[in-house]
Amino acid sequence: MIAFGVLVVSAEYSTGMIRNSLAAVPQRGTFLWCKVLVAGPLVLVVGLITSFCTFFLGQALLGGHGVGIGDPGVLRAVVGGGLYMALIALFAVGITFVLRSPLLAFAILMPFFFLVSNILGSVEATKKVGQYLPDQAGTTVMSVVPETLDRPYGPWEGLLIMAAWTAAALIAGFIVLKKRDA
């Protein structure tokens, strides 16, 4: 989903088509929000389908050791998986509008989400800060066993923290898009 979010924006910047797009839609805010309104629901639908399919496939493989969709916290975790994927993609869209480069966006987002965030969330000295990073907070919605997470917030609050990060990235992307030339 990070890759999709980056490519939604950066494909136009890397080919130079951004000039044509902004000439066709000179209101830059409209341009950005239309990208968000097209990419967001698409990723949400794909994320929900993926989340439900993987849940049911995983439970089928687990056989008698699996859980049901009606068990406590399971439906929230499965739906939360789709919401998490949508927010990750939209976060990547916002950051890519700020950076305007696919290489730079990938070089920052991939290590951040797969290395830096996990390290900051695991090291005792930085754990209190790391747990408020977008992916660390967002994954709490997918946790069914709350005792496994040592967080001062619950699953929906974690998703809300991630949504705030996503909103901040999109607002930053809007500001940069509005102030810079194509």
pLDDT tens by residue, the chain, 182 residues? 999 999 999 988 888 888 888 889 889 999 999 999 999 999 999 999 999 999 999 999 998 888 889 898 899 999 999 999 999 999 999 999 999 889 999 999 999 988 888 888 888 888 888 889 998 888 888 888 766 667 788 889 999 999 999 999 999 999 999 998 76
**Structure confidence at residue 13 (pLDDT):** 86
Per the structure, the count of domains in the chain is: 1
SS3 15: helix
The predicted pLDDT at position 153 comes to: 86
Residues 6+ apart with CB under 8 A from 78: 51, 52, 55, 69
Dig out the tokens for 117 from the structure: 């965030």
Give the pLDDT confidence score for residue 148 in this predicted structure: 60
Query: Rounded to whole angstroms, what are the CA distances from 54 to 48, 115, 144?
Result: 10, 24, 15
Q: What angle do CA 75, 122, 132 make, to 5 degrees?
A: 60
Q: Which domain holds residue 171?
A: 2-179
